[in-house]
Structure 1
C-alpha cells in the first residue's frame, strides 16, 4: 500500500516522464506551448511565514507570466519530509523546486554558505550575497556540479543563540551549555568553537528536544524561528551574528534544461523578483521579530564589542582552517580576501 508521500512522488515522476516525452528529440528550442506542473517544497516555514508568502509569490508570478501553462504546487514544512530527505528528492528530480538551506552531503563546497563570521554587518552581507555578489558567483557553479540550478540566495538576517534558563556571550560562559545545531558542516563546529556543546538535530525535532532538556536551546537561526516556534520554551536570544542566515532558491537542473529559453526566463525572472524583494524586506522583517520577541518577554541580548571580537577571533582561528581542508585553499583565499574586517 503506497503512502501519500509515495503516491505524490510517483505522480511527480509520471509528470516528469510525460513532459520529457512531449519534447522533441532535436536540439532546437521548442516553442513555449508546453504545459508543466512543478512541485515546490520548503524545508521550514508554513504558509503564513515570510518564506511561505515568498514562495506563493514565486508560484503566482510563474503561473501568471506563463498564462497558466506552468503550474506550481507548494508543500510547506514537514509535508514531504525532513531537510535531507527533501534535498535528496530535489537532486533526483522528484521535487522540481525548493527553498532550502543547502545540504553538504552531495558537495562539501556548499559549506561556504555556512562559514562563520564571513560577514559582520548588513552592508557586507548584501554585497556578498546580492546579485553579482562575490559569494553568489562562488556558489552557482557548485550547485551546477550536483545537478541543481541556482537562482540565488533568500536572505533572512544574522543568526543567534536562543536558550532556556541561562545564556552566554562568551566562550567561558557557554561551556556546559547544549544547543541544537543544524546538521551541516561547519555549524556544529562553530558552536563548539564558541564554547557550546553542539547537538545536531533536524528542524522537525527541535521543539521536543528543548522541551525535554536534550538541549538548552537553538542556534544559528534568525530570531523569527525561535520566537514563532519555540517562544514558550525559550527565555533569551543572544544576537551573536556568527552566521548570515540565507536559504537558496533552487531547481532540479534536468527540469530546468527541459524548458525553452522563454520559459526559463519566466521562471528565473519570477525567482529574481522574490530575491530582490527579500533583500529589501529582510532587515526590516528581522527587526520586526526582534521587537515581537521582546514584547512577548524574550530577553534580546547584543554582545559587547569586546565579546564579539573574542568570538570572532576564536571561531575564525578554529573553524576556518577546518573549512580550508574541506573547501580547498583557493576557495578559502577568496573568502579571506572578501570577508568582513572586524572593527
Structure 2
C-alpha cells in the first residue's frame, strides 16, 4: 500500500491543561461529514477527557469511535494498548477516514510516532502530523523556564544537586516532535508576552515549524488535518531528550481522585480548588460535579489556580451523578490535605 492509501492519524500532544481535549472536541464538531475516530490517553483512573469528547454528540464520531486508554502512558503501552486500539478502529464496518490521538500531558510523542513503524500497522496507518498544543499564558508565566542565576547558585553551593527539570524536558520534547504548534489561550496574554513566547518556541525548535495562535482551541480542521507529514519516516528530524533511553517513566508525578458531593452552587467549590492549587502546587485538575437542581453536569478544568467551568451536557439516566475530580501534580502531593480541602462540604 502507498502512503496515500493509509489512514492518516494526527497526534495531539501538549502539556497538562494546554487545551488538547478542547482542540479535539472542536475538530469533531466541525468535521463536515468526515468519519473521525479518537484514541484518548488518560493519566489516572477516571476517563475525564474521554467523557468530555463523548459529550460532543456529533454523528461523525459516535461513542464507539472514541477509545480510552487508561492503563498508563500511551508511549509506554504500545504493544498492549495502542496497537490493538488502532486495529479495533480499522476493523469497524465503516472505518474512520482520519484518527485523532490525544496523548496525556505527560507523554513523550516521539515513541508514539515510532510505533507507527510496527509491522502490524505500518502498512495501514501513517502520522499525518504531530500537533503540539501550548498553554501560552502558562509559558509566559515562566512555568517551564529555568532561572539561570538560581541554577548557577545551586551548582556553586552543592555539586550533587540534580538540576534536571522533568517538566521542562516533557515540554521541549513535545515541541521538538511537532509538525504544527498551536499557541493556545492567547486571550490571556499581553502582546509582549505573545511575541516573546512565540519567539522562544521558534528558537527551541531547530527546524521550520509553523506556530498558529488561537484562543479556546478554535481552529479550522483544514489547518490541523491533512498535513501529510508521514512523521514516522522523519524521526531523525525530531530530536528528544530521551533518544538514548530504552524507556522512560513518570515517577516524578502523582495523580489521584477526589470525590465531590452534590453542590448547591459552584462558587464555593471553585474557591476551594483555587486555594488548594495555590497551597499545594497542583499542576492540573479536571472532572465533573453535580449542582443540585440542574439537569446538566458541571465540567471543571484547571491549570494551577486558573479554572474554567461550564455545564457541558445533561446527565444520562443510567449514569451515577457522583462528582469526581482528577488531581495531577509533581511527586509528594499531600493527598489527604488536598482531598479534605477540595472535597469538604
TMscore range, shorter length = under 0.3
Greater strand share, structure number: 2
TM-score (norm: length of structure 2) = 0.24
TM-score (norm: length of structure 1) = 0.25
Higher RCO (CA < 8 A, seq sep 6+)? 1
Greater helix share, structure number: 1
